[in-house]
Amino acid sequence: MKNFSAHRDEHRPSNPLLVHLPHSSTNIPAPYRSQFLLSDAALDRELLAMTDHYTDELFAEHALALGGTAFVNQLSRLVFEDDALEGMSKKGMGAVYTSSSDGRSLRAPDFPASAREEILRDLFRPYAQALSSEVSSQLDRFGRCLIIDAHSFPAQPLPYEEATLERPDLCIGYDDFHASEPLIAALERTGLKAGWSVGRNTPFAGSYVPLAYYRTDPRVVSVMIEINRSRYMNEATGECSAGSEETRSLAGQLVETALLFEAFRNTRFHAVIPSGDICIRVGEPCPELDAFLETGGHESWVNVTAHNPHGQTAADGENERAQNELARELGSKGLAFYPGEGRADIGDWPPEPSFLVVGVSESEALELGCRYGQAVVVAGERGQAPRLLVREIRTSGL
């Protein structure tokens, strides 16, 4: 039985994005239903409590629109758990659940070891291997992989959960090895900008990484996005609420923010200033740039291009005309700007010409980028690490 599916839009440019949707299904095939001790009514209540309802609808479309892959578990987590953790195993919630969310027996105490091994052999291991293979394929193609581990959680803690932990609207889970502080901060800002409360690693922590890469391969970036179900559904009935569209929109913004951040983080932005070539990287201080700004009496800067507007590859002639127009505009405004280019560290993307512009405010930088079809620009202030400025998130690709 194939218990998972991988979806991608073959008509869109591909990106190193893997959205993992492990707990959205309520499907329990008949052979596994007979293993459970719960009545139909009790099982329905358990599914209502334990399923990450609608997360496939909230996230999958954005993965495809951005040229990524949506990897979906087609079975309920009650049949098998995709990510068995030792701590949860002690609560009867390892790879094969033996306890319900309220501590009752889900499977019989004498549930045979042979039946458990069948689940591991037929469901758990093939799932884990297929997901690991998706990561491997993206590493081979792009040199990196961004995993978005998509979940939801109930507004009130279930009996097996830690009741004292904060339960914000949005939980960002991560492991320091597989997610940088600037990336987490960018996602946090996206949630706060939408008016949502945001927590880091609360009430759940960490994010899925296949064991073959866990804490050994920094090219695998993984972030868990957990949404409080009260934002988008009636938890008593399981029906969508009026907040579902807002939640779907924010899910897209979060996924695209992460993808944009990782693309820009893996790019070196060079600029030729009077003292020579400097290299700017998102999230990393640039002492040469700070010294240059101080000498000229400037506090802020932006790196901007007119190439490939709206994330779509344009013809060389169109890019050249747009870049020349950008240069004329900067000159007409009396702004100091210096030529350069963005060079990807990985993959086979060609260098993209750009300008380092000094003495512009954040709002001016965003407006400038917007006029030339750039949803994101790299900018900063003297003495601070370069960061991404995002004017408008759209699921239209990079």
pLDDT tens figures, 164-177: 999 999 999 999 99
Closest-CA residue to 62 (of 259, 330, 221) = 259
Residue 370 near residue 391, CB atoms below 8 Å:
yes
Residue 342 near residue 398, CB atoms below 8 Å:
no
Q: Report how far residue 268's alpha carbon sits from residue 271's, in angstroms, rounded to the nearest whole number.
A: 10
Q: Report how far residue 281's alpha carbon sits from residue 268's, in angstroms, rounded to the nearest whole number.
A: 5
Q: Report how far residue 191's alpha carbon sits from residue 393's, in angstroms, rounded to the nearest whole number.
A: 12
Helix, strand or coil for residue 259? Answer: helix
Residue 376 near residue 290, CB atoms below 8 Å:
no
In sequence order, what DSSP letters do the residues of 51-119 get, joined into one string?
A: S-TTHHHHHHHHHHHTT-EEEEE-S-TTT--SS--HHHHTTT-SSS--B-TTS-BSB-TT--HHHHHHH
How high is the pLDDT of residue 83? 65
Neighbour-count burial for 301-328, b at 16+ CB within 10 Å, e otherwise: bbbbbbbbbebeebeeeebeebbeebee
Degrees, nearest 5: CA angle 260-266-271 = 100
Class of residue 166 by CB neighbours under 10 A (exposed 0-12, middle 13-18, buried 19+): exposed
Q: Tokens 């998706």, residue?
A: 134
User: Regarding beta strands 4-8 and 170-173, do their DSSP bridges make them parallel or antiparallel, or are they unpaired?
Assistant: unpaired
198's enclosing H/E stretch is: strand 198-200
For the chain, the C-alpha Rg in angstroms (whole number) is 24
Beta bridge partners of 277: 272
Q: Report how far residue 132's alpha carbon sits from residue 352's, in angstroms, rounded to the nearest whole number.
A: 32
Q: Report how far residue 335's alpha carbon sits from residue 248's, in angstroms, rounded to the nearest whole number.
A: 40
Euclidean distance between the first and the last CA atom of the chain, given in angstroms as a whole number: 36
Beta bridge partners of 233: 240
Class of residue 160 by CB neighbours under 10 A (exposed 0-12, middle 13-18, buried 19+): middle
Class of residue 331 by CB neighbours under 10 A (exposed 0-12, middle 13-18, buried 19+): exposed
The packing angle between helices 55-65 and 244-265, to 10°, is 40
Residue 170 near residue 199, CB atoms below 8 Å:
yes
pLDDT in tens, the chain (398 residues): 689 999 999 888 788 999 999 999 999 999 999 999 999 999 999 999 999 999 999 999 999 999 999 999 999 999 998 764 544 444 445 789 999 998 899 999 999 999 999 999 999 999 999 999 999 999 999 889 999 999 999 999 999 899 999 999 999 999 999 998 888 988 998 999 999 999 999 999 999 999 999 999 999 999 999 999 999 999 999 999 999 999 999 999 999 999 988 888 889 999 999 999 999 998 889 999 999 999 999 999 999 999 988 767 789 999 999 999 999 999 999 999 999 999 987 655 689 999 999 999 989 999 999 999 987 899 999 999 998 887 644 433 33
**pTM score:** 0.81
Neighbour-count burial for 71-93, b at 16+ CB within 10 Å, e otherwise: bbbbbbbbbbbbbbeeebeebbb
Q: Report how far residue 99's alpha carbon sits from residue 117's, in angstroms, rounded to the nearest whole number.
A: 17
